[in-house]
Structure 1
Amino acid sequence: MLEKTFYKTMLKHSFNIPIKVTYWDGKSEVYGDGNPEIEIIFNKKIPIKNITSNASLALGEAFMDKDIEIQGSIQDLIEAAYESADSFFYNSKFKKFLPKQKHTEKQSQADVQSHYDIGNDFYELWLDPTLTYSCAYFTNGNKDDLEAAQMAKIHHILQKLNPEKGKTLLDIGCGWGTLMLTAAKEYDLKVTGVTLSQEQYDLVSKRIKDMGLEDQAEVLLEDYRELGDRQFDYVTSVGMFEHVGSENLGEYFDDVAKYLVPNGVALIHGITRQQGGATNAWIDKYIFPGGYIPGLVEIISRIEEAHLQIADMESLRRHYQRTLEIWDANFNKVRDQVQEKMGERFTRMWDMYLQACAASFQSGNIDVMQYLLTKGPSGKLLPMTRDYMLNDK
């Protein structure tokens, strides 16, 4: 009886849309006004202490294990929780101090490989042909297909640098290489990419050889902190600082500054929380070990401490929501293949992860920002207005 009372109290105030809840005893209730389009089915009681200790971990694992079923949109359900001021997500008695995380070079390599070395064949199933695993840039609203939007993002980043032919670029966390190889092939830059993922390194190495870019591009399988005294005219880094941890964020921007030549330019693209830094225990355990979403003020402070100047900032929050919605649609088109290869629990986990992230961007719980930084006054490096960033490539 105590569990039922707790659940009713928690769920009654947790969403800003009507929700139907069916409990483990088969009885159903509707919370909120109107006809619910989403139903939560508890096949099993989740211990109260697990929920109060860490709701995201307890409920995420319950969904993976089918102790909870959701009929309707997971994305809409989670967005409704984020947008409810009385949600248990925001109840102070459920909040915990941010955990300390290891981000030694050895631990960083293990964290990256646990996520990106699942297998290139897994990501090829549902990413676009560029294998770009970060926020796309939809220049034509919902009319753009994902591949076009990913290439638009890459050109948007490179154009912001105002690059000159023949100069050098470092791509920290180069992924499967589309940005760095586009910079080499279409912008005539000499590029170096670094990754800790063996799978990514192998594929980028092959792409460099296949494209005949051996004299213009290199990829290194090493920690970005180990580049020594090398300097570059430009630095790009997309979806990287979310992996370094709060305690290493200052070192990350110090290294960006160190690797830039005097009057160099960097474009740093990453997930940010305007409300302050945060972790998510379920995502940390199952998706991105060691992940940390830094707060906007925290990032700006670290940029200033590294003696870099901010030339431009741009939010792409709605673009990441759209990207994730397409990824999840693609994922569910090949769901049977994923489940055959990885199992049902893994498949449910990734479906929830993609939809939860889309909801988080949709609600404004998290944002994604592009920071255009200069090592020296930007007036010496960049045009007076932002028009140059928008030229079609």
Structure 2
Amino acid sequence: MRLLSHMLSRFVQAGRLRITDAGGVVRDFAGKAPGPFVSVRFHDPGLQRKMFLSPGLAVGEAYMDGTLTFEDGTSLRDLFTLYGHNYQALDRYPLQALFRAIGRRLRWLQQYNPIGKSQQHVAHHYDLSRELFELFLDEDMQYSCAYFGDGVRSLEEAQAAKKRHIAAKLRLDGAKRVLDIGSGWGGMAMTLAELAPVEVLGVTLSTEQQKLAEERARRRGLSDRVTFELRDYRQIEQRFDRIVSVGMFEHVGAAYYDEFFGKVRELLTDDGVMVLHSIGRMEPPGTTAAWLRKYIFPGGYSPALSEVMAAVERQGLWVSDIEILRVHYAETLAAWHERFQAQRERIAKLYDERFCRMWEFYLLACENEFRLGSCMVFQMQLGRKRDAVPFTRDYITDTERRYGNMATAAE
């Protein structure tokens, strides 16, 4: 416990952490600044060593396995809040700083996503039971950051607003063919086809998503204009007037950014427009947390804008608009977590209690990263030509309002 105590005494700069070890010994670590109080109990003597070597991975696994529990009325959310106030101090701790530097050297291996391997990584998460996602997502099964604009309160409203916001940036007027890279369960593609007379091809690497998307398109009477294929975007050859990608870029990997944007340039018509919606970070390039990489998103990585922009520039694309969504995903994840907890008993029957604790850890950890950490979402508008879209942003707001009025009239 001595090594762990040394690290924790430097970690807790704000708030207070109480640890009761497996032998019943209680230790308090208090910062000089005010902050949350968290009380945890270790039920495994080996947990102290694991936490010293890899605190994020060890805490997540211990919570999943039940060898770390909370006391004194505190909770997992309190622990993440405490971490959010102190994570920079932990990152500066010599051993953790060394491991982060080694991780950056090895991230090419962590993000190894060639054709074939990408599908294995996607299947790990997105080919889970369809019922699981239906239990906590909105009605349209949008599994990405919602858009909580003025007056928007419910998750359903925020996800519909997100789709209209992206559609407005795509400037669908005059477009004929649209490509949706990473089409999920089909909601974005079908929305675009309902907003404008376009044909949409959605591609995904998830067999479960592709099957459900096809079913939904048939039910909505869109099968003649919206199709979904189980296909890697790198295998597509035809050109498109518009390309959209929502929540897929996080699975590309930094070593493949030039390949991604080079393919986008190849697939876009000369006056085509793309909108890329992705998680990013407001700090320099780094790595994906070990626990998240192991249990939730193998091969995944949320980039720094500096990495994205460098690849875009090398591929000769114009960036016509960038928008940063800062707390929107925190609110989205909070809504998902609330719905997950409301359906926890049913989810435990689908899987088991350990799975439920794993997903609780995932949802709360990610919410904390968007609320107190360095994560954000960016929307980037791209084109081959400088004048692919108007030179002012007024058309985005105007089109978005028009789409909103269409939705209101249809209700």
TM-score by length of 1: 0.93
Moved more, 249-258 or 90-99: 90-99
Give the aligned partner of residue 364 of structure 1: 373
User: Aligned partners of 1:368, 1:168: CA distance in 2, in Å?
Assistant: 26
1:132 aligns with 2:142: yes
Alignment of 1:69-84 (within 5 A): 69-71=69-71, 72-84=74-86
Pick aligned residue for 1:290 from 285, 299, 302? 299
Give the aligned partner of residue 31 of structure 1: 29
How far 1:92 moved relative to its partner? 3.8
- How big is the alpha-carbon RMSD for the aligned residues of Structure 1 and Structure 2? 1.9
Pick aligned residue for 2:19 from 21, 26, 30? 21
Give the aligned partner of residue 64 of structure 2: 64
How far 1:36 moved relative to its partner? 5.2
How far 1:76 moved relative to its partner? 4.1
How far 1:103 moved relative to its partner? 1.1
How far 1:163 moved relative to its partner? 1.4
User: Aligned partners of 2:375, 2:53: CA distance in 1, in Å?
Assistant: 22
Percent identity over the alignment is 36
Deviations 1:22-71 (A, max 9, x none): 22222333322669542222122345553344322222111111111235
Do the aligned partners of residues 231 and 157 (structure 1) sit closer, same or farther apart at CA in structure 2, a change above 3 Å counting? same
Give the aligned partner of residue 45 of structure 2: 45
How far 1:73 moved relative to its partner? 4.2
How far 1:274 moved relative to its partner? 2.1
How far 1:9 moved relative to its partner? 2.2
Pick aligned residue for 2:388 from 378, 381, 386? 381
User: Aligned partners of 2:92, 2:6: CA distance in 1, in Å?
Assistant: 14
Give the aligned partner of residue 301 of structure 1: 310
Do the aligned partners of residues 321 and 385 (structure 1) sit closer, same or farther apart at CA in structure 2, a change above 3 Å counting? same
Do the aligned partners of residues 22 and 319 (structure 1) sit closer, same or farther apart at CA in structure 2, a change above 3 Å counting? same
Deviations 1:191-237 (A, max 9, x none): 11000111111111111222222221111111111112x11011100
Pick aligned residue for 2:327 from 298, 314, 318? 318
Checking the alignment, whether the CA contact within 8 Å between 1:124 and 1:131 is kept in structure 2 is: yes
Checking the alignment, whether the CA contact within 8 Å between 2:185 and 2:209 is kept in structure 1 is: yes
Pick aligned residue for 2:120 from 110, 115, 118? 110
User: Aligned partners of 2:15, 2:46: CA distance in 1, in Å?
Assistant: 23
Checking the alignment, whether the CA contact within 8 Å between 2:4 and 2:49 is kept in structure 1 is: no
Deviations 1:75-120 (A, max 9, x none): 4422432432663244242223233132121111111011001011
Pick aligned residue for 2:353 from 319, 344, 354? 344
Structure 2 unpaired stretches of 5+: 404-411
Name the SS of the counterpart of 2:139 in structure 1: coil
Name the SS of the counterpart of 1:361 in structure 2: helix
How far 1:153 moved relative to its partner? 0.2
Give the aligned residue type for 1:269: H
User: Aligned partners of 1:238, 1:151: CA distance in 2, in Å?
Assistant: 14
User: Aligned partners of 2:293, 2:300: CA distance in 1, in Å?
Assistant: 6
Pick aligned residue for 1:145 from 129, 154, 159? 154
Pick aligned residue for 1:154 from 127, 140, 163? 163
Pick aligned residue for 2:261 from 253, 266, 270? 253
Name the SS of the counterpart of 2:116 in structure 1: helix
User: Aligned partners of 1:47, 1:65: CA distance in 2, in Å?
Assistant: 11
Checking the alignment, whether the CA contact within 8 Å between 2:163 and 2:188 is kept in structure 1 is: yes
Checking the alignment, whether the CA contact within 8 Å between 1:109 and 1:196 is kept in structure 2 is: yes
Give the aligned residue type for 1:389: I
Give the aligned residue type for 1:181: M
**Number of equivalent positions:** 386
How far 1:272 moved relative to its partner? 0.9
Structure 1 unpaired stretches of 5+: none
User: Aligned partners of 1:70, 1:18: CA distance in 2, in Å?
Assistant: 14
TM-score by length of 2: 0.89
User: Aligned partners of 2:224, 2:174: CA distance in 1, in Å?
Assistant: 15
Do the aligned partners of residues 130 and 86 (structure 1) sit closer, same or farther apart at CA in structure 2, a change above 3 Å counting? closer
User: Aligned partners of 2:376, 2:46: CA distance in 1, in Å?
Assistant: 31
User: Aligned partners of 1:180, 1:126: CA distance in 2, in Å?
Assistant: 21
